[in-house]
Amino acid sequence: MLPFVNNTGLYTDHYELTMAQGYFLSGRHEKKACFDYFFRKAPFGGSFVVFAGLSSVLQMIENFSYTKNDCNYLESVGFDSRFVEYLQSFSFRGNIHSVKEGELIFPNEPALRVEGSILETQLVETLVLNMLNFESLIATKACRIRQAAGNEVLLEFGLRRAQGLGGINASRAAIIGGFDKTSNVFSARHFGLESSGTMAHSWIQSFSDELEAFRAYANHFPDSCTLLVDTYNTLKSGVPNAITIARELREKGHQLVGIRLDSGDLTYLSKKARAMLDEAGFQEVKIVASNQLDETIIQSLRSEGAPIDVFGVGTSIATGQDDAALDGVYKLSFYDGKPSIKVSENLSKMTLPGIKTIDRFVDGENRFCADGISLGHETGYNEIFHPTEAGKRKNVTSCHKENLIHQVMRDGNCIEKEQAPGDIAAFTKSRLQQLPEEHKRFLNPHVYKVGISKELLETRNDLAKQYLKKDSF
Ligand SMILES: Nc1ncnc2c1ncn2[C@@H]1O[C@H](COP(=O)(O)OP(=O)(O)OP(=O)(O)O)[C@@H](O)[C@H]1O
Ligand SMILES: O=P(O)(O)OC[C@H]1O[C@H](OP(=O)(O)OP(=O)(O)O)[C@H](O)[C@@H]1O
Ligand SMILES: O=C(O)c1cccnc1
């Protein structure tokens, strides 16, 4: 359950409210509308995004209302009293269709659509973008780090480096993308995640010597003790002292869980530390590594044969380093009974009009081949067209078709059972296995094909012509 979700009506941009007031005062506020959420460019130089944040969006929208105090505030900053009175009893009553949380999505796919009155669908724009863009960015980063880490354990350590309260949802998204546990106790409690951790340098510094610090900790936590070994000298002091504690624990019937390396050359140090632990008979003691890790460094460490069992990752996962944001947008596709388009001289920036759905075409070996976007009523299309490069098409007759969109909110009520992040993560993992390798590599991944149906192509081109007044389609 997401924290802070009551009366979320002010969680929006000022212009959403001014437009809503305009719709209301001109008597257009009940006109039917549909908005699509999609992104244009996958982050981190990748080819896909892990769709996350759906549960947060649904909870926030179910609670999208205004208290008396909120209304007083809006009136005090200049909103019209008739509109403010309307907001007092406002709640979102629309419908939402979406791909599943954890699904792999690709550029320009309308992964979520919001239908309802123009006023209500407009008001929730900021919230939808805020939640989906952030959680999807972090889940995608987590998925890349998981790819690099293979089957080793991934701990999310990012709360202290996160952009303020963003760290709360970042921890959830990290688990969806493939992390095992988080250091973030708040998120663990709220989202049902597993929290865990080691120790900081301050614990060791608070004693007069390292061995004494290790021993005191081991006495408190004899069965869950991971010792930080780099405070003074990793190989001359930290690891030998950890081995002493491992012996003492063993004599008392316990077991040292691990040591943590947090500086220096992690390949060199992990190899040396592993050899020392093994030599002393502690093959079971795990090696945890941290210090500004990301998917590139983890990949490099593993390719060098660093015997690291657990990676602790902070900054890069909680902030989505090196991409500060996912560029997801929310565009009007249907208004007052007609398809609507945002035109642009740049074809790739032109939106897709109408109420649409997404089909995934899967081959005989259960691998993803391509996705097709079509108008909701089309069922039997068997060819998809490149949305911007005339003449490029793909026949999908030989593929099995899987519809990705389903209804998650009806008349303002969430009809989607809340899923545990761990279950969403399992779904993401299975989808990743279906995505061919060439789309997953870090360097210049192959672009995944997303085509549109002939009817959608023609609808888009006809509408665009009306606005651009030219015959170039
Ligand atoms: N074998 C390795 N291959 C690639 N990158 C590594 C390797 N070992 C460590 N790194 C990374 O190199 C960076 C080292 O950072 P930095 O130069 O600040 O070293 P440091 O050990 O933290 O220094 P300090 O001793 O001042 O704490 C970190 O991002 C770390 O994850
Ligand atoms: O490097 P990041 O990927 O951001 O991961 C989190 C870092 O945060 C901690 O350091 P910090 O110096 O804050 O505390 P510490 O005393 O526990 O090392 C931890 O030791 C990691 O180095
Ligand atoms: O538990 C840890 O080792 C930890 C937690 C947060 C940040 N860095 C490390």
pLDDT at position 26, please? 98
Spatial distance between the Cα atoms of 396 and 363, rounded to a whole number of angstroms: 9
Structure tokens at 132: 């989906």
The C-alpha torsion from 229 through 231 and 237 to 241, rounded to 10°, is -50
Structure tokens at 68: 């008396």
Ligand 3 center from residue 199 Cα (angstroms): 7
Would you say residue 471 has pLDDT above 70?
no
Mean pLDDT of 104-117: 98
Ligand 1 center from residue 44 Cα (angstroms): 21
- C-beta of 178 in contact with ligand 3 (< 6 A): no
Give the ligand at the shortest distance from the Cα of 315. 2
CB burial class (10 A; 0-12, 13-18, 19+) of residue 240?
middle
**Euclidean distance between the first and final Cα of the chain, in Å?**
48
For the chain, what is the mean pLDDT? 96
- C-beta of 311 in contact with ligand 3 (< 6 A): no
Task: Locate CATH 3.20.20.70 in the chain.
Answer: 143-319
Phi, psi of 417 (to 5 degrees): -70, 135
pLDDT at position 470, please? 55
Spatial distance between the Cα atoms of 303 and 42, rounded to a whole number of angstroms: 26
Mean pLDDT of 376-397: 91
Mean pLDDT of 61-71: 97
CATH fold of 143-319, please? TIM Barrel (3.20.20)
Tokens 């030998």 belong to which residue? 240
Mean pLDDT of 194-205: 98
Could you read off the pLDDT of 351-377 as tens digits, one per residue?
Answer: 999 999 999 999 999 999 999 999 988
Which ligand 3 atom sits nearest the alpha carbon of residue 200?
Answer: 3
Spatial distance between the Cα atoms of 470 and 152, rounded to a whole number of angstroms: 57
Could you read off the pLDDT of 133-167 as tens digits, one per residue?
Answer: 999 999 999 999 999 999 999 999 999 999 999 99
- C-beta of 258 in contact with ligand 3 (< 6 A): no
> Closest Cα to atom 13, ligand 2: which residue?
160
For residues 190 and 4, the answer to whether their CB atoms sit within 8 Å is no
The pLDDT-based confidence of 128 (bands split at 50, 70, 90) is: very high
The pLDDT-based confidence of 328 (bands split at 50, 70, 90) is: very high
Ligand 3 center from residue 282 Cα (angstroms): 23
For residues 244 and 276, the answer to whether their CB atoms sit within 8 Å is no
Give the ligand at the shortest distance from the Cα of 185. 3
Give the ligand at the shortest distance from the Cα of 321. 2
Would you say residue 246 has pLDDT above 90?
yes
The pLDDT-based confidence of 379 (bands split at 50, 70, 90) is: confident
Ligand 2 center from residue 291 Cα (angstroms): 6
Q: Helix 421-434 crosses helix 125-149 at what angle (to 10 degrees)?
A: 60
Spatial distance between the Cα atoms of 441 and 430, rounded to a whole number of angstroms: 17
Spatial distance between the Cα atoms of 49 and 245, rounded to a whole number of angstroms: 44
Mean pLDDT is highest, among 337-346, 385-394, 442-451, for: 442-451
Tokens 């002010």 belong to which residue? 10
The pLDDT-based confidence of 467 (bands split at 50, 70, 90) is: confident
The pLDDT-based confidence of 100 (bands split at 50, 70, 90) is: very high
Q: Which of 40, 59, 62 is nearest to 169 (CA)?
A: 59
- C-beta of 318 in contact with ligand 2 (< 6 A): no
The pLDDT-based confidence of 6 (bands split at 50, 70, 90) is: confident
pLDDT at position 2, please? 64
Would you say residue 335 has pLDDT above 60?
yes
Q: Beta 95-98 vs 338-339: how paired, if at all?
A: unpaired
For residues 182 and 155, the answer to whether their CB atoms sit within 8 Å is yes
- pTM (whole model) above 0.95: yes
Which ligand 1 atom sits nearest the alpha carbon of residue 293?
Answer: 31
Spatial distance between the Cα atoms of 89 and 94, rounded to a whole number of angstroms: 15
Task: Locate CATH 3.20.140.10 in the chain.
Answer: 14-139+332-467
Name the DSSP class of 449. E
Calculate what percentage of the chain has a pLDDT beyond 90: 93
pLDDT at position 472, please? 54
pLDDT at position 390, please? 87
Which ligand 3 atom sits nearest the alpha carbon of residue 288?
Answer: 3
For residues 36 and 130, the answer to whether their CB atoms sit within 8 Å is no
pLDDT at position 1, please? 58
> Closest Cα to atom 17, ligand 2: which residue?
200
Ligand 1 center from residue 265 Cα (angstroms): 6
Q: Of 3.10.28.10, 3.40.190.100, 3.20.140.10, 3.50.50.60, which CATH number belongs to 14-139+332-467? A: 3.20.140.10
Adjacent-strand bridge partners of 182: 156, 195
Would you say residue 4 has pLDDT above 90?
no
Q: Helix 239-251 crosses helix 266-279 at what angle (to 10 degrees)?
A: 40
Ligand 3 center from residue 290 Cα (angstroms): 8
Mean pLDDT of 334-355: 92
Would you say residue 103 has pLDDT above 60?
yes
- Count CB-CB contacts under 10 A for residue 205: 12
Determine the Cα angle at 380 with ends 358 and 97, to 5°: 25
Please choose from 181, 226, 290, 297 the residue to mutate so as to test ligand 2's pocket, defined by most ligand atoms within 8 A of CB.
290
